[in-house]
Amino acid sequence: MNHRECLRVLNRRNFLRECACGIGMAAIADLLRGEGLLGAEPSAVNPLAPKAPQFPSKAKSVIFLLMDGGPSQIDLFDPKPELNKHQGEPLPPSVAKNLHLAFTKPNAAIYGSPRTFKQYGQSGLQFCDLLPNTAACADDIAMVRSMHTDAFNHGPGQLLLTAGVMIPGRPSIGSWVLYGLGCETQNLPGFVVLHSSRANKGTFGGASNYTSGFLPPVYQGVPFRSSGDPVLYASTPLTITNEMQREDVQAILSLNREHYKSVGDVEIAARIASYELAFRMQSAAPELLDFSKEPVHIREMYGLNDETTKPFGTNCLLARRMVERGVRFVMLTHSDWDDHENLAENLTKNCKMTDRGTGALLKDLKQRGLLDHTLVVWGGEFGRTPIVETRGRTDPVKFGRDHHPIAYTMWLAGGGIRGGQVIGSTDDFCMSILEDPIHVNDLQATILQCLGFDHTRLTYRVMGRNFRLTDVTGTVVKKLLV
């Protein structure tokens, strides 16, 4: 504010005219306080304190295995022998009619799968030969072969999967869960993100996959590193003692609390909670990453002694240790499954990296009694087409598949889910859904149902209306539930 503006504001008549509303509000507030009608003075409540769900729930926490890029359901979970019979032929006109794909023409040749499938467990669920460890848990898994989404590009597809809509800026599912349930640990973040990669890439959705959007920032996902400091600068400098740091934190917190009392801004409450959590994490996070007390056979089961399986296996073991300590939502991302070419080679690499850790996670949760109240979700933003994408190549070994949002597979296991079943079916070419179509918003509604929430009632009011994870759609898939 410049000198002239200061003089104008300080002019008595301008002051009375422009600030009358504020003076009036102050007078009303004083009268209401005198009558005991204003309520208590605001206090810096902990926004991450545990909260009860809307109704009794099976699941208390979620581990979301986000397979970035779109894994091929045809080569992993949904065998289609008809594709091999018609290898090299175009799709029938009745199937290709009105088909719109990202990069491939509908008249491209049919591309069968070289993978072999077997039935596993008493349920007889079918898995390909690249997923023996996941397949060993077949009776705990509910496989959904009839997923569909509205997006055929990665960024919008991941936003729809993780935040309920295809536009950035909305809270992610982990933030909604943390907002609804709070956190059972005060020493670690309630929503943690872990990442691994085949091609040293990040996810297409990036930070939008774990943003808190218009929810208070305290509900945002916190990316962790799997070695060293889990969060940068978490370690205390050698020259600073715990007592010295505690005094600094207490001084900052006391100032923030005084400010909160005067304005009641939830952003300040979030800042207070963040400072306190950061201080506690300095002792809790190193212990979380210390696997020395884990039995040798557990570390071996997760593949920590193999350089190929170690990155994802480490994240899976961390996820188990986190939910064991009360973390509410853990998102494990693995990229990149976007196999427009070199499908056979890349799919083999990704499965070698992730299958061992995934199977170990399910088995470990179950043997510890954690699977009953931990919901595990596996899948990507869409699947892959049954027709070939050559990108100018002539060697079939180098062929790939295009994005396929119409009919693809995800699976769930654990808290509230009835395992050992297949939901939905697709046609012989895996081009369309024949039974039980399940939209991404239906999946989100079902996840919240497992956690004890009616997805239409878990809302946050902003910009004049109530918003929810599932936007304006979503139906609970009752077949999935126990």
SS (H, E, C) 279-347: HHHHHHHHHHHCCCCCCHHHHHHCCCCCCCCHHHHHHHHHHHHHHHCCCCEEEEEEECCCCCECHHHHH
Q: Name the pTM for this structure.
A: 0.85
Residue 354 parent element (H or E): helix 343-367
Is a pLDDT exceeding 60 seen at residue 42? Answer: no
In tens, the pLDDT along 419-441 reads 999 999 999 999 999 999 999 99
In tens, the pLDDT along 353-402 reads 999 999 999 999 999 999 999 999 999 999 999 999 988 888 888 999 99
Give the pLDDT confidence score for residue 266 in this predicted structure: 64
Is a pLDDT exceeding 80 seen at residue 127? Answer: yes
DSSP letter at 109? B
Mean pLDDT along residues 60-85 = 97
Is a pLDDT exceeding 60 seen at residue 14? Answer: no
Mean pLDDT along residues 238-243 = 70
The bridge status of strand 421-423 relative to strand 141-148 is parallel
Residues 256 and 276: beta-carbon distance below 8 Å? no
Give the pLDDT confidence score for residue 46 in this predicted structure: 81
Question: CA-to-CA distance for 331 and 89, rounded, in angstroms?
Answer: 40
Give the pLDDT confidence score for residue 270 in this predicted structure: 66
pLDDT band at 23 (very low <50, low <70, confident <90, very high): low
Give the pLDDT confidence score for residue 226 in this predicted structure: 58
Q: Which residue has the higher pLDDT, 267 or 386?
A: 386
Mean pLDDT along residues 275-283 = 64
Q: For residue 329, what are the CA distances in angstroms to 59, 130, 186, 218, 468?
A: 11, 28, 14, 14, 18
Where are the domains positioned within the chain?
3-34, 61-480
Mean pLDDT along residues 331-347 = 96
CA-based nearest residue to 383, from 124, 149, 63, 54: 149
Is a pLDDT exceeding 80 seen at residue 38? Answer: no
Is a pLDDT exceeding 90 seen at residue 47? Answer: no
Question: CA-to-CA distance for 392 and 398, rounded, in angstroms?
Answer: 10
Q: Output phi, psi for 467, to 5 deg.
A: -110, 155
Is a pLDDT exceeding 50 seen at residue 43? Answer: no
In tens, the pLDDT along 313-324 reads 999 999 999 999
Residues 171 and 442: beta-carbon distance below 8 Å? no
pLDDT band at 286 (very low <50, low <70, confident <90, very high): confident
Q: What is the mean pLDDT of the chain?
A: 88
Q: Which amino acid is at 36?
A: G
DSSP letter at 169? T
Residues 279 and 248: beta-carbon distance below 8 Å? no
Give the pLDDT confidence score for residue 251 in this predicted structure: 76
Question: CA-to-CA distance for 23 and 39, rounded, in angstroms?
Answer: 20
In tens, the pLDDT along 195-230 reads 999 988 889 999 999 999 999 999 999 999 755 666
Mean pLDDT along residues 150-167 = 96
CA-based nearest residue to 234, from 292, 291, 286: 286
Helix H segments across 368-480? 440-450
Residues 435 and 425: beta-carbon distance below 8 Å? yes
In degrees, rounded to 5, the angle at the alpha carbon of residue 68 between the alpha carbons of residues 64 and 71 is: 100
Residues 378 and 388: beta-carbon distance below 8 Å? no
pLDDT band at 245 (very low <50, low <70, confident <90, very high): low
Beta strands in 26-161 (DSSP E): 61-68, 117-120, 125-128, 141-148
